[in-house]
Structure 1
Amino acid sequence: MTEVLLAVVAGALIGLSLGALGGGGSILAVPVLVALGQGPAQATTGSLVVVAMTSLAGAVTAHRAGNVLLARGLTFGLVATGGAVAGARAASAVPEPVLLAAFAVLMLVVGGLLAVRQWRARHAGPADRGARRAVLDDPIITFSPTFACQCPRALKVLVTATAVGLLTGFLGVGGGFVVVPALLIALTLPLDLAAGTSLVVITITSSVALAARAGSTPAPDWSLVAALTVAAALAAVAGARLADRVDTRRLSAALTGLVLAVAAYTAATALPALV
């Protein structure tokens, strides 16, 4: 009973983070499930259930608030599915301590990239911000009136989406601490739209990775997963509404701090098991 109550509290925090920031779901879900007695493989599988359902709830709310670029999110998510399947199949062949260590390294890298990007955004001039907005409004591929392709940007989307899919399938990380930076880098979206659009991508990649993992990894405790999922999905709706009222610079700082903090915790957990 105590474990279920802890799962509900943790689920609420996961949902608020995922709904408001477009990230934090997986990096909180995996350590929480491990702390509640699940193995790393069980935790990464369970986290996909939590994140897929929570992202779906948050995506609907974010779309109603106008913070989702649906077509770009669907395209990015569908491109990422190939990597998600390959990553999920590879995960079953890797020792669990290695999964946790890889998880920690990934978060440290992403946290560093976010910190650098945040610093650059603070020092960007009005001309730089205007140029980024122009790129956002400019389609990558058009078919009418004639076919046109910005192939370097299209290649960047292909490579980035495939990498996101691989990480989702391999580490069970459907969350936006991977997807939001990917959208910021590949599609040059402002943070508010990246956070909302990432929820569409996360829903697709997490669902595909979960299906690919079926039968190949140990099943988690489904009662804990259900408690996390219900609490997180309800909190994600509130988080998505909160995102529409909060300064995006504060959201960016919160996302960076969250990624780095959990990276340090996960690294401290994983390293002793590798020695």
Structure 2
Amino acid sequence: MGLETILAAIAAGSAIGLVLALVGGGGSILAVPLLVYVVGVASPHAAIGTAAVAVALNAASSLAGHARSGNVKWPCAVTFALAGVLGAALGAEAGKAMDGRKLLALFGALMVLVGLSMLRPRKTADNPDVRLERSTASVLLPRLIPTGFGVGLLAGFFGIGGGFLIVPGLVMATRMPLRVAVGTSLVVVTALGLTTATSYALSGYVDWVLVGLMVIGGLIGAGIGIPLGKRLASRKRGMEQGFAALVIAIGSYVILRGIT
């Protein structure tokens, strides 16, 4: 591995860490195109497998802080995660079986859809005391299980953490506040990322050196983004919209590269 590749991998990780720190999510969806078009990973499957490991590690490292702050609804998270793990395992097998160029084109289409969804104004949930227990199971389980399974399928297929899908899925299923949904989603992101990463690793589709370099870059990006995010807190919605536009543009480029 040459110096240029090493620097590109660290830069890619830094970009993802910076985005996560500034807008609170969505950075992982940039990992695959960055690995393919910036770092130069030849195989889309190897890019997906490597990205899945990096996403899982980043989510796990962020989970502790949210848990200490009480922003994790553990029963909801575990239920959603168990359903998602099954979906992710099936999705990863389907993704590995698909032609790499077609997979990239579909990934680009997903990026465009995600970007468009991020442009929509968010609605605040109104049930901060939601709990999954015997009295609420009949209402919450029919919502959490199918939503978790569907999100897991997409996360496994595309090798993404799926935080941008998990958060609205949790809000839709339980009406928990957004800040709690973000903390709870990290449990699910970690579980789905590890499931997808294990599947791809067993097939030899993970570059562990690149994983290490991207984690180093992610720490650098987060170190820059956290204090910068505090300064730009009043412009958070504007940053989210700008990031959404970037995701749409990159997704369109990935589609074109995938079909031509």
**Bigger mean CA offset, 169-178 vs 228-237:** 228-237
Is the alpha carbon distance of 1:245 and 1:180 closer, same or farther for their aligned partners in structure 2, counting shifts above 3 Å?
Answer: farther
> Which residue of 2 is the match for residue 27 of structure 1?
29
> Which residue of 1 is the match for residue 129 of structure 2?
137
> Which residue of 2 is the match for residue 124 of structure 1?
none
Is the alpha carbon distance of 1:67 and 1:81 closer, same or farther for their aligned partners in structure 2, counting shifts above 3 Å?
Answer: same
Aligned 1:175-190 pairs, distance under 5 A = 175-190=162-177
Is the alpha carbon distance of 1:13 and 1:202 closer, same or farther for their aligned partners in structure 2, counting shifts above 3 Å?
Answer: same
Does the 8 A contact of 1:53 with 1:233 survive in 2? no
Is the alpha carbon distance of 1:109 and 1:270 closer, same or farther for their aligned partners in structure 2, counting shifts above 3 Å?
Answer: closer
CA RMSD of aligned residues (A): 2.8
Partner AA of 1:261 in structure 2: L
> Any stretches of 5+ residues in structure 2 without a counterpart?
none
> Which residue of 1 is the match for residue 17 of structure 2?
15
Does the 8 A contact of 1:81 with 1:208 survive in 2? yes
Residue 55 (structure 1) aligned with residue 70 (structure 2): no
Partner AA of 1:197 in structure 2: T
> Which residue of 1 is the match for residue 247 of structure 2?
262
* SS at 2:97 equivalent: coil
> Which residue of 1 is the match for residue 212 of structure 2?
226
How many angstroms does 1:262 deviate by? 2.0
For each residue in 1:108-162, what CA deviation from the matched residue of structure 2 results, as whole angstroms up to 9, or x when unmatched? 22333333343xx4xxxxxxx6xx32x33233x422xxx44343x4322222111
> Any stretches of 5+ residues in structure 1 without a counterpart?
122-128
Partner AA of 2:179 in structure 1: D
How many angstroms does 1:220 deviate by? 4.3
Is the alpha carbon distance of 1:148 and 1:172 closer, same or farther for their aligned partners in structure 2, counting shifts above 3 Å?
Answer: closer
* SS at 2:40 equivalent: coil
- Rounded to whole Å, the distance in 1 between the matches of 2:247 and 2:48 is 15
- Rounded to whole Å, the distance in 2 between the matches of 1:196 and 1:258 is 21
Is the alpha carbon distance of 1:219 and 1:172 closer, same or farther for their aligned partners in structure 2, counting shifts above 3 Å?
Answer: same
> Which residue of 1 is the match for residue 150 of structure 2?
163
Partner AA of 1:73 in structure 2: A
- Rounded to whole Å, the distance in 1 between the matches of 2:112 and 2:181 is 20
Residue 196 (structure 1) aligned with residue 183 (structure 2): yes
- Rounded to whole Å, the distance in 2 between the matches of 1:231 and 1:155 is 40
- Rounded to whole Å, the distance in 2 between the matches of 1:224 and 1:17 is 19
- Rounded to whole Å, the distance in 2 between the matches of 1:240 and 1:79 is 32
Q: What is the TM-score of this pair, normalised by structure 1?
A: 0.79
For each residue in 1:54-112, what CA deviation from the matched residue of structure 2 results, as whole angstroms up to 9, or x when unmatched? 11111112323443333332332122110010001111111112211221222222333
> Which residue of 2 is the match for residue 126 of structure 1?
none
- Rounded to whole Å, the distance in 1 between the matches of 2:107 and 2:253 is 12
Count of aligned residue pairs for this structure pair: 256
> Which residue of 2 is the match for residue 88 of structure 1?
92
How many angstroms does 1:246 deviate by? 7.1
Residue 271 (structure 1) aligned with residue 256 (structure 2): yes
- Rounded to whole Å, the distance in 1 between the matches of 2:235 and 2:142 is 31
How many angstroms does 1:179 deviate by? 2.2
- Rounded to whole Å, the distance in 2 between the matches of 1:29 and 1:53 is 13
> Which residue of 2 is the match for residue 207 of structure 1?
194
* SS at 1:179 equivalent: helix
Is the alpha carbon distance of 1:272 and 1:261 closer, same or farther for their aligned partners in structure 2, counting shifts above 3 Å?
Answer: same
Does the 8 A contact of 2:105 with 2:258 survive in 1? no
- Rounded to whole Å, the distance in 1 between the matches of 2:111 and 2:254 is 14
Partner AA of 2:137 in structure 1: C
> Which residue of 2 is the match for residue 76 of structure 1?
80
Does the 8 A contact of 1:11 with 1:227 survive in 2? yes
Partner AA of 2:191 in structure 1: I
